[in-house]
Amino acid sequence: MNKKVLIIIILLLIFCCIVLSFLFSKKPVIFEISPKNASVIIDKDIINQKTLKLSPGMHSVVVYATGYIHAQQDIRVSYWGSNKVIITLEKLKDISELLPYYELVGDNFFDIEQTTNEYLEPVYNVRLFGTNENDAIKWFKKVGLDTKKANIVFTVDGD
């Protein structure tokens, strides 16, 4: 084999190795999370730094904090350029001082207790005893809770 051809092949192999190592190396990703005390999970691993090196491609991010609605999104880490993720959680209205709650509706009633889910968001457990969901929804709206964003679980007759 010609010496020039061999040198060209070796140079091409070196170039390919450099390109492949660049493409498959982890890239810095900067996270701007609000509130600052929020917990961040990336691909099922909890992280606690503002800058993280991730492999290029898709990653799942979950951010949660007590008193806020959690955020869950997929991010794409780019091979080129900067990677920045900005997530701001929405604050939940705190009605914990009003709970547990019990209300008579005619001869029937409903009661509400509060627990939390895995993202530390409040879950409102409403037991309906001869009443319907609308009675409880009216109460939530009266105290200013956004029922479209709240985690409300209804059970009928205490089941």
Bridge partners (DSSP) of residue 99 are: none
Q: In this predicted structure, what is the pLDDT of residue 4? A: 83
Judgement on whether residues 25 and 70 belong to the same structural domain of the protein? yes
Judgement on whether residues 20 and 80 belong to the same structural domain of the protein? yes
Judgement on whether residues 86 and 102 belong to the same structural domain of the protein? no
Which of 69, 129, 71 has the alpha carbon at shortest distance from 103? Answer: 129
Q: In this predicted structure, what is the pLDDT of residue 24? A: 67
Judgement on whether residues 13 and 74 belong to the same structural domain of the protein? yes
Kindly state the average pLDDT of the residues 133-146.
91
Kindly state the average pLDDT of the residues 82-102.
90
Judgement on whether residues 83 and 103 belong to the same structural domain of the protein? no
Number of domains, the chain: 2
Judgement on whether residues 104 and 86 belong to the same structural domain of the protein? no
Q: In this predicted structure, what is the pLDDT of residue 158? A: 52
pLDDT digits 0-9 by tens, 25-73: 788 899 999 999 999 999 988 888 888 889 888 999 999 998 899 999 9
Domain end call among 91, 126, 143: 91
Half-sphere exposure of 157 (CA within 13 A, CB side): 1
Which of 119, 26, 107 has the alpha carbon at shortest distance from 64? Answer: 119
Indicate the pLDDT class of residue 21, thresholds 50, 70 and 90. Answer: low
Judgement on whether residues 87 and 133 belong to the same structural domain of the protein? no
Judgement on whether residues 150 and 130 belong to the same structural domain of the protein? yes
Judgement on whether residues 13 and 78 belong to the same structural domain of the protein? yes
Domain end call among 69, 91, 113: 91
Judgement on whether residues 24 and 39 belong to the same structural domain of the protein? yes
Domain coverage including residue 16: 3-91
Q: Which percentage of the chain shows pLDDT scores above 90? A: 43
Q: In this predicted structure, what is the pLDDT of residue 22? A: 61
Bridge partners (DSSP) of residue 102 are: 111
Domain end call among 91, 115, 145: 91
